[in-house]
Amino acid sequence: MQTFSLSNGISIPAIGYGTYRVTDHNAEALIQTALQCGYRHIDTARMYGNEAEVGNAIRHAGISRSDLFLTTKVWKTCLSYDDTLRSVEASLRDLGVTYLDLCLLHWPIPEKDRDQWREKDLSAWRALERLYAEKVLRAIGVSNFLPHHLMPLLAKAEIKPMVNQLEFHPGYCQPYAVSFCQAHQIQVEAWSPLGRTRVLEEPLILELAKTYGKSPAQICLRFALDQRVLPLPKSSSAQRMQENLDVFDFSLSLEDISRLMTLPQLGWGGNHPDTF
């Protein structure tokens, strides 16, 4: 699997398996299937409620811990120094691991005292910085932070965020946020890179699928990769999990990327970081 390099030099597999809503009785089996298909980068979150299942799946997979890249996130009810420390401790316990490859603040605005988001983000960030210094976290970052959320954090951070995970797919590719991150050496990851299937019937995507001899989902994943954005597709089928990894033998022309970039807004998930 191709990798990207984060600003602190660590490698991250260029596609990850997204586990949002992988929570039913089948969760552990699904994550095991993803590992069997070749995924080595698993993206979870405290809020997804599946860290124990992810932990069981990786323990039973017979893959060495150092060959896996594990990400989790701190939920927005925990945006304080102590609560973030406690959240990461609980994640480590439930996942059954001694370190995480990446930990993100999940959303920028806290559940309570929303107008104090700058202070709260910074105090949670201080906790991630401490855990990074203690080598409990190999990399730290944020999720759903727009440039105006990142600016106050970047001004005070001792360790800059290495990743920002954003909603990103054709029809919602947030070019200003992506270029801001790239200018600050922040790796962008894409949640819902397939627009939760809402974009797969778009005529332009169907046309490009035909032109390149690929599926609409593969066009969306390549669209992310061609812009150095790391996609985290979800799937509950082994065949589609495999299909979603089979995107390293082609790339889109600049002209086709431009056509996808300039589609009218399509398939937005509906949560804006300022109001969610």
Binding positions for ligand A2P, rule: CB under 6 A: 18, 192-197, 200, 215, 217, 233-237, 240, 243-244
Closer Cβ to ligand A2P, 43 or 101, answer by number = 43
Residue 62: CB minimum distance to ligand A2P, A: 25
Q: Which of 48, 99, 132, 172 is catalytic?
A: 48
Q: Are 147 and 174 in contact (CB under 8 A)?
A: no
Supply the minimum distance, in Å, between the C-beta of residue 199 and ligand A2P: 8
Strands 11-13 and 3-5: antiparallel
- Give me the least distance between CB of 123 and ligand A2P, in Å please: 31
Cα–Cα distance between 242 and 149 in angstroms, integer?
A: 36
List CB contacts of 112: < 8 A, sequence separation 6 or more.
Answer: 77
For ligand A2P, give the closer residue by CB, 108 or 193: 193
**Helices (H), strands (E): how many in the chain?**
10, 10
- The answer to whether 48 is a known catalytic residue is yes
In the complex, what is the shortest distance from the CB of residue 237 to ligand A2P, in angstroms, rounded to a whole number? 5
Rounded distance between C-alpha atoms, residue 224 and residue 2, angstroms: 14
Name the residue nearer to ligand A2P (CB basis): 85 or 190.
Answer: 190
What does residue 246 show for φ and ψ, rounded to 5 degrees? -90, 65
Q: How far is the CB of 217 from ligand A2P (least distance, A)?
A: 3
The answer to whether residues 165 and 189 touch, using CB atoms and an 8 Å cutoff, is: yes
Residues 6+ apart with CB under 8 A from 237: none
Q: How far is the CB of 148 from ligand A2P (least distance, A)?
A: 25
| 138 or 214: CB nearest ligand A2P | 214
First to last CA, the chain: 34
How many other C-beta atoms lie within 10 A of the C-beta of residue 225? 20
Query: Reduced to 3 states, what is the DSSP secondary structure of residue 98?
Result: coil
Buried b (16+ CB within 10 A) or exposed e, 200-217: bebebbeebbeebebbbb
Enumerate the H helices of 102-146 as residue ranges: 117-133
Catalytic residue ranges: 48
